[in-house]
Amino acid sequence: MPDPMSHDLIVIGAGQGGGPLAGTVAEEGHNVALLERKHVGGTCVNEGCTPTKTMIASARVAHLARRAEDYGVDVGDVSVDLETVRRRKRDIVESFRAGSRSSIEEKDTLDLIEGDGQFVDTHTVEVALNDGGTRTLTADRIVINTGTRPVIPPIDGLDEVDHLTSASIMELGAVPDHLLVLGGGYIGLEFGQMFRRFGADVTIIDRGPHILGREDADVAEALQEILREDGIRLLNEASMTAVEEANGTITAHLEGDDIPAQVEGDELLVAAGRRPNADTLNLEAAGVETAERGHVQVDDRLATTADGVYAIGDVTGGPAFTHVSYDDYRILTDHWLHDGDRTTEDRLIAYTLFTDPQLGRVGLTEAQAREHDRDVTVAQMPMTHVARALEVDETRGLMKAVIDSETNQLLGAAILGIEGGEVMSILQTAMMGNVPVNRLQSAPFAHPTLAESLNNLFAGLDLGPAKERVRSGD
């Protein structure tokens, strides 16, 4: 083994938590090694948020162009050049990736090492360098930020079919005639709607009674109706038992009540979940324990079961969102550099599904609140009652809020509608500030904005006097 190089901190994975963490600690004068085996920026920049939302923007323009006549505008026939869409996506990804790399390389005490790392012991990592050779590193603190990868389920014949993942589908140079999508989660729905708008026939195959199994049924069913309006075929409670390919045609064999025995397409996207990239790290050598599905176990300060070893981001099995990974970075730097007390406990998680319309979500669903025996009031309103949505002819979806009946505090919300993520963020801010619904009910929001619709959402509720919730320590 080569002589080890000593650092104050080793970060394994240059994602949206690991890169900023390494940079911030280095800026404080500490000697930091940042390991990355492929591209800096992680899944978000390279295969997730940045490229997908770039392509979704192209799909929305195509959709609006086809609807132009509804607004009194004649644009003629609409076609999509997927090569141009792909080039635009690649350019933006490269720009973001270069920015991430530049911010790393400008730090004098930050060493970017490109290769695959694995533990030798609790404080030692050996790296197989991408350009050949190995390097051995030691540090008192090591952070795992290795993310996740697509799950390929054990379906008969799937290994022999040239299927797509969330990364490879964005490299298609032509629109498929018929795209089959296995999985009705965030990834499957975003790509399914995107490629339908690019011009493909799309069939989504999902095992659950409705898509988005963790959402309230009424919200999920409203989105299903929207997707069906867009011409997407949804097969619920359907299991793919086998798949085969011949002469450019992929045949998926299905089981389920009122489900066709088979469906055919020319491309298959497997969007059946993701698994942690922890299995190649030799975690046993470090004393790092994992959960049943391979996620790294951490406490509320992101410490693993090994002294001095931490984990952040998707690899921990927490909510798999970039902003959560970035907040993990904040927790560690608050603890290490500022003697702070931030933890993951009671962290208010918000997220947005970038279908069109968007689904913005924060806090508890109605089902979750009732499972916790909360006495709740539910406010719900269709987007057809939102003036701004009517003005721009974007009235699909609904708004839903779950309220604690005793305190009038918001417990959670789902905004399925135009700019649903932005409207949801207003409610997230109210929840963070303990603002009771009474205040939102009569707030003088600007007219005519989407925010103003919150007045109407809460208008019919007899809430009684607001009971301000006091934070402990205030």
Q: Respond yes or no: is residue 372 known to be catalytic.
A: no
φ/ψ (deg, to 5) at 69? -60, -30
What distance in Å separates the CA atoms of residue 179 and residue 191, rounded to the nearest whole number? 10
CA separation for the pair 216, 218 (Å, rounded): 6
310 strand-pairing partners: 143, 303
Q: Of residues 30, 63, 163, 447, which has the active-site annotation?
A: 447
Q: Give me the amino acid identity at 143.
A: V
DSSP alpha helix (H) spans, 119-215: 186-198
> Running DSSP on this structure, what letter comes out for residue 290?
B
The helix-helix angle for 18-27 and 82-105 (nearest 10°) equals: 30
Alpha carbon distance 23, 46 (integer Å): 19
- Quote the CA–CA distance of 107 and 218 in Å, as a whole number: 50
Strands (E), 201-357: 201-205, 233-235, 239-246, 249-255, 262-265, 267-270, 274-276, 309-311, 350-353
Residues with a catalytic annotation lie at 447
